[in-house]
Amino acid sequence: MGKDTGFLEFEKESPPLRPVDERVRDFKEYETFFPAEDLQKQAGRCMDCGVPFCHMGCPLGNMIPDWNDLVYRGHWKEALASLHSTNNFPEFTGRICPAPCEDDCVLNEHYTLDAVEKQQKVNVVTIEEIEKHIAERGWSEGWIRPLPPKKLTDRQIAIVGSGPAGLAAAQQLRRAGHAVTVFEKDDRIGGLLVYGIPDFKLEKNIVSRRVDQLRAEGVEFRTGVNVGVDYSVEELRISFDAILLATGAQHTRKLLVDGSELEGVHYAMDYLPQRNREVAGDLIPEEQRIEPGRKKTVILGGGFTAADCLGNLNRQGVDPRVHQFELVNMVPRPTPVHQEANPDCRANILTESISGDSLGRVKALQAVNVEWKVETSGKSASRQVTMQRVPGSEFSVPADLILLAMGFLGPKVEGLLEGLGVELNVRGADKTSSPEQLIKMLKNAQPMFDVYADDNFMTSEEGVFVAGDANRGASIVVWAIWEGREAARCIDKYLMGTSSLPTTPQAEVLI
């Protein structure tokens, strides 16, 4: 694969990021591109490792060594065909996937303890970068074109949600010949790709050109339709032979402390879509604007959503000393946006309360350091993780703005799921629950949950399927695309008795 001694001859390199002082002045992507010859060298570093683990770590089953070899040899069109055989949207995954494939690269065995602590992938093949370049080469050369079905069926399929799972399923089902209608409650197609991921990581023309491809293939898109609210569930069931729920996991985890209702405390998923709308040229009513200005800001959470908030704040000119606190024992993963500023990033921090001024505006956040302990007990050696406050470690930081990026519990229940009556999996519960039971539960607790589905992605309701974050909980883009593709195959088989759509065994990774 690649050049036999490439991994010895060529150092790992990635295209340079745009200079910080330049990129924080706009919302364009901060990554740049390699010349083709430099990228071919990087592809040539893919060693003939005997048993490649990289594609096992990818839920999509991407044939990574194959297209690395093709790129090294200059066969770009063939590399694109190999990539597209398992992945509908490699230009998405090449930009926003955390690349579990690179974690499993054999060259990753050559590391230093310092690099592990900094969560750096030192010597691996730059798989994600190569993937993105292949896709962009395909677009620039005109190799990526609409592929409408040659034969049509009389089956009608509704997909609710237009994120990566919904779009992948729509493309697969349309290419199988079915009539596909995608419903989206927002005014643009793309789900979190459009209203969650900032433009500096994924410019929206990258999404819209794929949407244009799907539209040219015959997929119908209906925006501004909140199914279950302004489009009845009864009409949905009558009008379509199968329904796919690809609504994502939009039920956010709440901060249950005194002061969380103060003015200036906002959910990340209220802030991020607003910023993306403004970048797209939309006007946000003054009374709804979340404007950081030069405010003292605290971000609660250490994941990618929190990092996306930080990147936006860097471009809006907030107080340069942003605090980012994570509850669990993991320092927020360093990203390019952390290089743009000097945030105070800390792990093992528990928020205890938020104080405000006489006008009801947030003034400060009170927190304490915590320790996590793992205890083993019983004959089964069961492990229990407990959290304990560290006495005397209490502290307070001034804050005018607090953004909550603490994760997601599951899909929205009211409306669509409630109307359909699909059963829900509740973490820690012994059995599935009805939407009504879960709604009662959510008033007093914050359980994680998802829509119940069998091995064929069908819910408890005949002909209603689910894929993506609504099915597995909040996860990464490659899992969403895999689930969309697999759900599409199961729907096709359900409607037609058999399916010619490809199948990808589930990867043996936990993400």
List the structure tokens of 462.
Answer: 């005949």
How far is residue 46 from each of residues 57, 67, 247, 472, 493, measured CA to CA in Å? 16, 10, 37, 32, 37
Taking only the tens place, the pLDDT of each residue in 48-97 is: 787 888 888 889 989 999 999 999 999 999 999 999 999 999 999 999 99
Percent of the chain whose pLDDT exceeds 90:
78
Burial annotation 206-216 (CB, 10 A radius, 16+ → b, else e):
bbeebbebbee
- Least-confidence region, from 142-151, 318-327, 452-461, 463-472: 318-327
Read off the pLDDT of each residue in 503-507 and give the average, rounded to a whole number.
62
319 has pLDDT over 90: no
* Angstrom distance (rounded) from CA 209 to CA 404: 32
Whether residue 9 is predicted with pLDDT greater than 50 in this model: the reply is: yes
In this structure, what DSSP letter does residue 503 have? Answer: -
- What strands, in cross-sheet order, belong to the sheet with 323-325? 265-267, 401-404, 297-300, 323-325, 344-346
Residue 507 has pLDDT above 50, yes or no: no
Instruction: Give the Å distances, CA to CA, from 225 to 64, 94, 174.
Output: 39, 30, 21
Question: Is residue 1 very low, low, confident or very high in pLDDT (cuts 50, 70, 90)?
Answer: low
Which domains are assigned to the chain?
6-141 (1.10.1060.10), 156-251+409-496 (3.50.50.60), 254-406 (3.50.50.60)
Is the per-residue pLDDT at 511 higher than 90?
Answer: no
Note the pLDDT of residue 379.
64
Tell me the angle at which helices 64-72 and 127-141 cross, rounded to the nearest 10 degrees.
Answer: 60
* Angle, CA of 321, 325 and 331, to the nearest 5°: 105
Rounded to 5 degrees, what are φ and ψ at 96? -120, 0
| Tokens 């809006």, located at residue | 316
Q: How many residues does the chain have?
A: 511
Tokens at residue 245, please?
A: 């729920």
Mean pLDDT of the chain: 92
Reading the block at residue 501, the tokens are 């759509």
Is 377 strand, coil or helix?
strand
For 205-240, write each residue's pLDDT tens digit: 999 999 999 999 999 999 999 999 999 999 999 999
Convert the pLDDT of each residue in 97-138 to its tens digit. 998 888 888 887 655 444 444 445 568 899 999 999 999 999
Residue 226: name the closest of 186, 167, 274 by CA: 186
pLDDT at 374: 86
Q: Express each pLDDT in 135-193 by its tens digit.
A: 999 999 999 999 999 999 999 999 999 999 999 999 999 999 999 999 999 999 999 99
Q: CB–CB of 38/12 below 8 Å?
A: no
Question: What share of the chain has pLDDT > 70, as a percent?
Answer: 95
Which residue has tokens 């605090």?
323
Separation between Cα atoms, residue 184 and residue 219, nearest integer Å: 13
Highest-confidence range of 38-47, 197-206, 366-375, 442-451, by mean pLDDT?
Answer: 197-206
Per-residue confidence (pLDDT) for residue 296, from 0 to 100? 95
What is the model's pLDDT at position 159? 98
- Alpha-carbon Rg for the chain, nearest whole angstrom, is 23
